[in-house]
Amino acid sequence: MSQPQEILLAEPRGFCAGVDRAIEIVERALQKFGAPIHVRHEIVHNTYVVNDLKAKGAIFIEELAEVPPGATLVFSAHGVSKAVQNEAEARGFRIFDATCPLVSKVHVEVAKLAQEGYEFIMIGHKGHPEVEGTMGQLEHGIHLVEDVADVARVQPLQTKLLAVVTQTTLSVDDAAEITAAVRARFPSVREPKQQDICYATQNRQDAVKVLSAQVDLMIVVGSPTSSNSNRLRELAVKLGIPAYMVDSAEELRPEWFEGVTRVGLTAGASAPEILVRQVVDRIKALGAVSVRTVPGMEETIKFPLPKGLKIEAAV
Ligand code: SF4
């Protein structure tokens, strides 16, 4: 039985600026106001991150009725609907919004175009909290399509003022195909000036494309609920590479590595680097002797924290 020889690390991989910011918001809220801090939904879709914050005093809830009066509440990076926002305000919580600014940008666009009379076609995955949050920016007028077949079925009330928006963490190639189908059916549809799919999703998918040409197996570190992590695994499979997604190093199975010389390793935008390191150690224990990073797009973007959680400048 041959063993893996080399691990090739994707770059970029792991945390994006929106995830960094969301986790920091919860950590700072814990420091400033003390435990417990309530968080609506998993702050980001990663088991390790959620458990770590739970240990520090965060309580994750789905329904606002579970949050006691006067509590501090953080909205997750995926964003919330207007109804959730209004209910949280009405209940009088101290609120910090960890919605990724790139998701908020889509919300702002929807609100602005709705005022001009637009109806929307949203490309996304049904039931994902980001989709619920974006669709919930309006009471009606956003139609969800998940694939090309849905585009043929969708029935907007009018087609003169129609705009397309997308979830930020889709497969870039699938979204392009679905958008093309929307354009073919509704030629005057308005498309975002810059795609709604975020830079982090795009860059991590680009890195998997580069890596897939060089490896026999792809491992993606990410939780099953993480949209962008799932898309990375699917992309490698589409490119003809066997690929597995693992939430932790313990999930790696020795039989995956049989006959494999080079292993590609990446991580979704919500997966911390510590898990990547643990996966590297485990693959080394299975025989890999070298680790090499395949250079890719450098990411320097950082998002500011909300007011009230910034460190005050020393006087
Ligand atoms: S994956 Fe993209 S949209 Fe989601 S938190 Fe990261 S930067 Fe924001």
Residue spans per domain, the chain? 6-15+200-293, 17-100, 102-185
> Does 6-15+200-293 match 17-100 in CATH topology?
no
Q: Is the Cβ atom of 16 under 6 angstroms away from ligand 1?
A: yes
| The ligand 1 atom nearest the CA atom of 228 | 1
CA of 218 to the centre of ligand 1 (A): 22
Going by pLDDT thresholds of 50, 70 and 90, the confidence category of residue 3 is confident
What's the confidence (pLDDT) of residue 314?
52
Residue 294's CB is within 10 A of a number of other CB atoms, namely 16
CA of 198 to the centre of ligand 1 (A): 6
Going by pLDDT thresholds of 50, 70 and 90, the confidence category of residue 2 is low
Find the catalytic residue in 27, 42, 109, 130: 130
Q: What percent of the chain has pLDDT over 70?
A: 98
Q: Is the peptide bond before 12 cis (omega within 30 degrees of 0)?
A: yes
245 pLDDT higher than 70: yes
DSSP classification of residue 187: T
Please name the residues in contact with 62: beta carbons below 8 A apart, sequence gap of 6 or more.
40, 41
| The ligand 1 atom nearest the CA atom of 18 | 5
Q: Is the Cβ atom of 77 under 6 angstroms away from ligand 1?
A: yes
Instruction: Tell me whether residue 11 is one of the annotated catalytic residues.
Output: no
315 pLDDT higher than 80: no
Q: Is the Cβ atom of 102 under 6 angstroms away from ligand 1?
A: yes
- Arithmetic mean of pLDDT, 63-88: 98
Burial 122-131 (b: 16+ CB within 10 A, else e): bbbeeebbbb
Best substitution site from 169, 205, 300 to test ligand 1's pocket, by max atoms within 8 Å of Cβ? 169
- The arrangement of secondary structure in 17-100, i.e. its CATH architecture, is 3-Layer(aba) Sandwich (3.40)
The structure's pTM equals: 0.96
Which of 3.40.1010.20, 3.40.190.10, 1.10.357.10, 3.40.50.2300 would CATH assign to domain 6-15+200-293? 3.40.1010.20
DSSP classification of residue 290: E
CA of 269 to the centre of ligand 1 (A): 7
Domain 102-185 falls in which CATH fold?
Cobalt-precorrin-4 Transmethylase; domain 1 (3.40.1010)
Q: Whose CA is nearest to atom 2 of ligand 1?
A: 198
Is 198 annotated as belonging to a binding site? Answer: yes
Q: Whose CA is nearest to atom 8 of ligand 1?
A: 18
DSSP count for the chain of H helices, then E strands: 10, 12
Asked if 295 and 10 count as a contact pair (C-beta separation under 8 A), the reply is no
Q: Is the Cβ atom of 43 under 6 angstroms away from ligand 1?
A: no
Q: Is the Cβ atom of 269 under 6 angstroms away from ligand 1?
A: yes
Is 16 annotated as belonging to a binding site? Answer: yes
Q: Is the Cβ atom of 106 under 6 angstroms away from ligand 1?
A: no
What are the pLDDT digits (tens) for 93-102?
A: 999 999 999 9
Q: Whose CA is nearest to atom 6 of ligand 1?
A: 18
